[in-house]
């Protein structure tokens, strides 16, 4: 009869377990950083999209000759809207540059340039 001897080579050593945990921890940290970066980019895209809506709304209001306040609230955020008008070579057109940013910051989230037909307003006033 053969005698059963204990197998001392079975299982992992403590060093192998520590190396495996280090590899898993590194992978988990990398995944966490990637997720955090993705969430930050999504937030930036959302801010630029809302700022664009604010700028589009302001340009439409200017084309309709509606006076709007310099601060606007949209989707729970307060937005600062800076409008600069400048003449063009065509006396019936006016260039409008609109910069939109958070009300609490000086940075611009979105900038929009457009044109307004001011010749149509002169006709309406003259009638």
Dump pLDDT digits (tens) for 58-116. Answer: 999 999 999 899 999 998 999 999 999 999 999 899 999 999 999 999 899 999 999 99
Virtual torsion, Cα 95, 98, 99, 101, nearest 10 deg: 180
Following DSSP, what letter does each residue of 51-79 receive, concatenated? Answer: HHHHHHHHHHHHHTT----SEEEETTEEE
Can you give the three-state secondary structure of 2-22, one letter per residue?
Answer: CCCCCCCCCCCCHHHHHHHHH
pLDDT of residue 123: 47
10-56 pLDDT, tens digit each: 677 888 899 999 999 999 999 999 999 999 999 999 999 999 999 99
Euclidean distance between CA atoms 30 and 39, whole angstroms: 14
Q: Is the pTM of this model over 0.95?
A: no
Percent of the chain scoring above 90 in pLDDT: 68
pLDDT at 122 over 90: no
DSSP code for 89: S
* Gap between the Cα atoms of 96 and 30, Å rounded: 45
CATH for 14-126?
Answer: 3.30.1300.30
pLDDT at residue 51, rounded to an integer: 95
């Amino acid at each position: 009869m053969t005698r059963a001897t204990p197998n001392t080579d079975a299982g992992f050593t403590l060093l192998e377990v520590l190396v495996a945990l280090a590899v898993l921890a590194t992978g988990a940290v990398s995944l966490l950083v990637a997720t955090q970066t993705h969430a930050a980019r999504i937030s930036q895209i959302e801010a630029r999209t809302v700022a664009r809506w604010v700028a589009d709304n302001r340009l439409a209001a200017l084309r309709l000759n509606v006076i709007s306040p310099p601060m606007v609230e949209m989707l729970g955020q307060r937005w600062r809207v800076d409008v600069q008008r400048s003449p063009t070579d065509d006396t019936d057109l006016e260039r409008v540059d609109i910069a939109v940013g958070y009300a609490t910051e000086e940075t611009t989230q979105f900038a929009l340039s457009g044109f307004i037909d001011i010749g149509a307003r002169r006709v309406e006033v003259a009638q």
